[in-house]
Amino acid sequence: MTGLTPAQTAFLVALGVILVVVALFALVVLRRAGRAGGGLSGPVARLGRPSVARLELHRWAFYAHRVSGVAILAFLALHLVDVGLVAISSDLYDEVHALYGTLALRLFEVGLLAGILFHTANGLRLLVIDLVDVGSRTSERMLWLAIVLTVVLTVPAGAVILAPALA
């Protein structure tokens, strides 16, 4: 790709704004967590505590769930606009969607996939916790399952997403 068209530039600017907004939201979440005593102050030290005493994994899952939800919603809004370009012009649509073949956007898609998978798995875990009294030990096991599923599904799918850009 030699030069960017105005439509591609507009898409990349919008994506950049979305990434900045999500990063700022993540910082706000972490700052508020820090004020509540659950933020970045010594997370490694707290992870060494017994699981019942710390419940840090659940707290970090809560933060990740909030940030992934905002990120998914923000990208969905942009995606609706870029897919809607087909109603204006199929050439414009093709022009913008050519960006999805680049390595940078494919890496972004892998990150988005990981966020969607984690948000979904953790959301289902939260749903089960709300509907059934599973206890803290089972809840922690379910969270680990959500994390493992996210990684196990993201790695091979990420390889498939990245393969055309790396070939």
CA-wise closest residue to 119 among 157, 55, 62: 62
Q: Is the pLDDT of residue 106 over 60?
A: yes
pLDDT (tens digit per residue) in 34-88: 776 655 555 555 555 555 545 678 888 999 999 999 999 999 999 999 999 999 9
Give residue 18's domain range.
Answer: 6-166
pLDDT of residue 18: 95
What band does 167 get if pLDDT is binned at 50, 70 and 90?
confident
Q: How many domains does the chain have?
A: 1
Count CB neighbours of 54 within 10 A. 16
The answer to whether position 1 is within a domain reads: no
CATH number where 72 lies? 1.20.1300.10
pLDDT of residue 160: 97
Q: Read off the tokens for 65.
A: 């769930």
